[in-house]
Amino acid sequence: MYTFATRPRLFLSFAREDQTAADALRQELSARGAEVWTPDELNAVARTASAVEEAMRRSDAVLVLLSQASVKSPWVASELKAAMDATRAPHERVKVVPVAIEGANALPDIGSLRYLDASNHDWADLARRLLASGGPIEATAPESSAVDDVIDAIRDLPLEIVREPVAWGVRPDIVVETDNRRRAVLEVKARSSPSLVEAIQARAQAARLAEATAADLALVVYPRLEGSLEHEGIVGTLGLRHALRRLIALPRIASPPEDVRPPSGIVFAAMPFAPEYGDVYWVAMRAAAQALGLACVKVDEEDYVGDIVVKIKSLITESVAVIGDLSEAKPNVLYELGFAHALDRPTVHICATPLDQLPFDVRNWNTLEYGLGQTHRLIEPLTRRLRSALDGRVTA
């Protein structure tokens, strides 16, 4: 059963006076498999703005403990501001999770951000809300059953439904088109409800899909989800039907949308799971695959039942090529590239960290260097290299 592709990373900001509460929460989160970072661990001598901001970018969620003490703390105020600044993009802003440990009257100005009430100091319950998924998946459940459930739930609506098409360089689970030329892109999850951290990741995925596909609607669907989080891009089947009916009622657009095609070739992305590499996938890898009529997939964007390594091997076996991001020489990337090489899959290697820091038997590979935050510059050379690899002209 798969919940997270890697240990969820949480950044915890708090005032010195709330150290006991922070330690208790951290203990509960760590016991449930989370990796929890605090400002003091970033620099043994002093907190630095650059270290804090970097840790926030690398985190799946930024938890800010709010109390009478933290409201007065210049460190917490600066960290909250840094968290908001570091997650300025629409698909990242939801990463900031205020946790009120003394009730709502202790809250500073957090704008429209919703907060968790932890005034009862039940840290086990708070950790569960942050990390525990609803509705365990049976290990024997077919991987495609959740997608089938969603298709069955909307089949009676006046829609054209395409399953796992290749378009915009991605392969979403479902694309639906209406008679008024509107389009929705859907990613389906098998669980009945997400944990808060999974909801954060799901909203980011929905926002990225909307940005990449220019669809009228991009949603992550939990078929059995009760209630609705549509404003966050997350729905159950009932919420999905309501959203699609509203889409159907919109005025007809003049120009037809871009055609989508049935399942076609995929390019597997072997890369670090850290959030700061998101643009490498969504901006550069996806664009390179799109230019060649393919879809780029990575394992933490997929939903499935079973062993993650089995899923990785399945995707690499299915792929026509593999793009491997060697940045930081992550063991998972080296393993996945080794498996791809053993299958004789064409591979393209990229890296944002110094090549001389890579293992000796890897650093001499033909590798494209790029800079984080400048992934748009990677699109053209990556597209050329991928095309050449598929033509059999480039090897490791």
Q: Residue 180 in 3-state DSSP?
A: coil
Our CA dihedral for 244, 248, 253, 257, rounded to 10 degrees, sits at 50
Q: Side-chain half-sphere of 135: how many Cα atoms within 13 Å?
A: 14
Mean pLDDT throughout 316-328? 95
Mean pLDDT throughout 173-190? 92
Mean pLDDT throughout 64-92? 76
221 forms bridges with which residues in the sheet? Answer: 188, 235
Mean pLDDT throughout 191-196? 80
178 forms bridges with which residues in the sheet? Answer: 159
**pTM for the model:** 0.76
State phi, psi for 254 to the nearest 5 degrees: -75, -45
C-alpha angle 211-189-243 in degrees, rounded to nearest 5: 60
136: pLDDT strictly greater than 90: no
User: Do residues 100 and 135 lie in contact, with contact meaning Cβ atoms separated by under 8 Å?
Assistant: no
Mean pLDDT throughout 104-116? 59
Domains of the chain: 9-131 (3.40.50.10140), 145-248 (3.40.1350), 266-390 (3.40.50.450)
- Cα(170)–Cα(209) distance, integer angstroms: 9
Diameter of the chain measured on Cα atoms: 65
Q: How confident is the model at residue 135 (pLDDT cuts 50, 70, 90)?
A: very low
pLDDT digits (tens, 9 = 90+) for 244-279: 999 999 998 876 566 676 667 899 999 998 878 888
pLDDT digits (tens, 9 = 90+) for 345-369: 999 999 999 998 898 888 888 999 9
Retrieve residue 187's tokens: 């990613």
27: pLDDT strictly greater than 50: yes
State phi, psi for 302 to the nearest 5 degrees: -95, 155
